Homo-oligomer: A and B are copies of this chain.
Amino acid sequence: MPVTVRFLGTSAALPTSQRGLPGIAIKYDGAIILFDCGEGTQRALMEAGWKLSGIRLICISHLHADHVGGLLGILTTREFQGITRPVTIIGPPGVSDFAGSILKYTYSHIQYPLEIKELQGNGGIGYQDENLAVHWAPLKHRVPTIGFLFVEHDKIGTFNVERAVTLGIPAGPLYGKLKAGEDITLPDGRIVRASTMVGPAIPGKRVAVIWDTKPCPNAYYLSENADLLAMESTFTQAHRDEADASDHCTAAQAAKIARKANAKQLILTHISARYQEPDPLLQEAIPIFETTLIAHDGMEFIVP
């Protein structure tokens, strides 16, 4: 199943003519998972042709205005459009009060099921369904901030049909049992171990979204072996002091995390408005981690 990652807004703090406020969406099996909702997110989804009815989960990293300014629009437009499918929001402590307040004061009566779950502690699984899980862990920013890891469930390994035929296993329910990892006994009394019939599990795709943090152990932890690491790169090393002071990362720091975590692909996003041309960010990252790209609004990346 393809995992399509779309960069809805790629700026930091304030929008520019080229970059909207932060938002990333993953589409998987028709469902959309949003990571943050900067102001303009609903319009960015509309431009993509990604319908709000598809949104199943909204992961909020933290409550700074640039990352949540579009939440009200997403929730209320969904209601206006008569969408009845449920939405879950997961985010840091305070997200429930924030969402509750903006809905209350704008007279917005949401009729679809809306579950809001505040994530407290050292991390874990924030959401899971039949296809995927979203893991989370706290990051290091000025306010409570969370990094996320989208993980597609592992797929069952390849069933060795050829061997099954050779062994004379009748096609049908016994195949199903072996695929489900169950050993079987054939009518003639032979025992067939599932482990000899099914190849190793195919690991699910992993996409980490890490922004608004200084480098920290959980940034590595979430990114480990990620197929894609979407990572903030607010500054270059030339503005390292500013990055340190504001608890943000430079391009070099993001690249080091990608390298150490053995990520396959790094895409830099959350770009400060000062970089009209993002080349300096890329030039800084690539010598450290070669498979680096810079996000732009509307960019789509299909996880290989």
Contacts and interface: CB of A to CB of B under 8 A. Distances in A.
Given A64-B106, A68-B106, A80-B14, A42 B43 contact: no
Interface stretch (A96-104, A178-186, A256-264): A96-104
A79 to B, nearest CB: 9
Q: Report how many copies the assembly holds.
A: 2
A42 B70 CA distance: 13
A47 interface: yes
A46 B40 CA distance: 14
A72 B39 contact: yes
Interface residues of A, number: 37
A80 B13 CA distance: 8
Contacts of A94: 105
A69 B39 contact: yes
B81 A14 contact: yes
Nearest to A19: B43
A77 interface: yes
A63 B105 CA distance: 7
A15 interface: yes
Contacts of A17: 46-47
B39 A15 contact: no
Most buried by B among A46, A63, A69: A69
Contact of A105 (B13, B43, B80, B101): B101
A291 interface: no
Nearest to A79: B65
A143 interface: yes
Nearest to A96: B105
Contacts of A66: 73, 76
Given A39-B43, A65-B73, 18 more contacts: A13-B80, A14-B80, A14-B81, A15-B43, A17-B46, A39-B42, A39-B73, A63-B105, A63-B106, A65-B72, A65-B76, A65-B106, A66-B73, A69-B72, A69-B73, A101-B105, A102-B102, A107-B142
Interface of A: 13-17, 20-21, 39-40, 42-43, 46-47, 63-66, 68-70, 72-73, 76-77, 80-81, 94, 97-98, 101-102, 105-108, 142-143
